[in-house]
Amino acid sequence: MEELEHVVVAVQKSPTHRHIARALIARLAAIESAKRGSPPDGREKEIIKAVKNKLHQTVGAFVEGRPDYKKALRALAAAAREEDAVAREERIRAVLQQAMQFHASTRERLPFLESFYRDALRDISPPGRVLDLACGLNPLARPWLGIPDEAEYLACDVRADLTEFVNGVFAACGWKGRAFVRDLLSDEPLPKADAVLLLKTIPCLEQVEKDAGARLLARLDAPHAVVSFPGKSLGGREKGMRENYAAHFLGMLEGTGWKQRNFVIGEELVFVLSR
Ligand SMILES: C[S@@+](CC[C@H](N)C(=O)[O-])C[C@H]1O[C@@H](n2cnc3c(N)ncnc32)[C@H](O)[C@@H]1O
């Protein structure tokens, strides 16, 4: 529809949203337009505003301001040139921790990074390939995962600026793997993996489509998955949020064949799935 094309172009023009995959913008334009009846004549402005609001809630809000990714990559390159191996590893980790602060989800996990992955991956044999869905800046946590150096780390997010930065980090650190742009609401097949990470993202997807979590779960091609939920919104602690997500997700798992164990670390509710 021509009106929807106008909406997509208008949203893409905004500096805050220009890095977001077109597929998601077009999907939201169609959803917001359908809510207002068809044809949505004369309601373009209203639809553009609604699309931008949804993009802010589900994508934009997690990265505040304009992180200086180039500066972080320069610091990483300098750290990687350090000759002493122990000092090099320490410096690289320090730069990565600094950069993980750019994204709210990794920032919240930083104090628990080591124990988070020790607990989450303890029953999973060392994976040959990890797939990190809606990754944010979590791929920067790779040294804390304790996975083999030769393991491949694939990651995707709907924001191209994030995946570009993650690819720069992988190149600077000489890690095997790559990041790519993907709207997880689309039904495109996902790469096969030994372990999938789907951290704090189901609620974002379900804000757009109610069945998005269940649909995504059904598309995973992996024997193990670590799926987590936030215990508080970006604004602060919300009473009962974890309990509600736990009940919702356990319901979603029924009849799927996944076995689960779960634990809470910091504010995050973590499910480890195996089948
Ligand atoms: C709450 S953050 C979690 C980030 C990361 N998984 C973590 O826990 O550190 C949600 C992430 O999902 C991404 N996202 C939102 N909607 C998406 C979609 N439709 N497809 C793919 N990624 C999406 C956002 O850009 C954001 O980085």
The string of DSSP codes covering 144-206 is HHT--TT-EEEEEESBHHHHHHHHHHHHHHT-SEEEEE--TTS-PPPPP-SEEEEES-HHHHH
Whether ligand 1 lies within 6 angstroms of the CB of 185 is answered as yes
* Whether the CB of 28 sits within 6 Å of ligand 1: no
Domain with CATH 3.40.50.150 in the chain: 103-274
Q: If pLDDT is split at 50, 70 and 90, which confidence band does 250 have?
A: very high
Residue 144 pLDDT grade (very low, low, confident, very high; cuts 50, 70, 90): very high
The CATH class for the domain spanning 103-274 reads alpha beta
Beta bridge partners of 225: 196, 273
CATH number of 2-58: 1.10.8
User: Which part of the chain has CATH 1.10.8?
Assistant: 2-58
Backbone angles phi, psi at 220, to 5 degrees: -70, 135
Say what the pLDDT of residue 43 is. 84
Q: Which two tokens stand for residue 258?
A: 């996944």
- As a whole number, mean pLDDT of residues 98-116 equals 96
For the cut 60, the answer to whether the pLDDT of residue 40 exceeds it is no
> pTM to 2 decimals?
0.96
Give me ligand 1 centre to Cα 127, in Å. 22
CA of 199 relative to ligand 1 center, distance in Å: 8
Q: Under DSSP, is residue 233 helix (H, G, I), strand (E, B) or coil? A: strand
pLDDT of residue 1: 66
Predicted confidence (pLDDT) per residue in 194-246, tens digit? 999 999 999 999 999 999 999 999 999 999 999 999 998 777 767 789 999 99
Buried b (16+ CB within 10 A) or exposed e, 13-22: eeeebebbbe
* Mean pLDDT calculated for residue range 41-65: 91
User: Average pLDDT of the chain?
Assistant: 94
Residue 41 has what pLDDT? Answer: 64
Asked if residues 59 and 41 have their Cβ atoms less than 8 Å apart, the reply is: no
Residue 104 has pLDDT above 90, yes or no: yes
User: How many Cβ atoms sit within 10 Å of the Cβ of residue 47?
Assistant: 24
Specify the residue with its C-alpha closest to ligand 1, atom 12. 134
Residue 129 φ/ψ, nearest 5 degrees: -145, 130
For residue 264, pLDDT beyond 80: yes
CB 173 within 8 A of CB 149: no
Compute the distance between CA of residue 99 and CA of residue 94 in angstroms, rounded to an integer.
Answer: 9
Cα of 137 vs centre of ligand 1, distance in Å, is 9
| 8 A C-beta contact, residue 242 and residue 229 | yes
DSSP 229: E
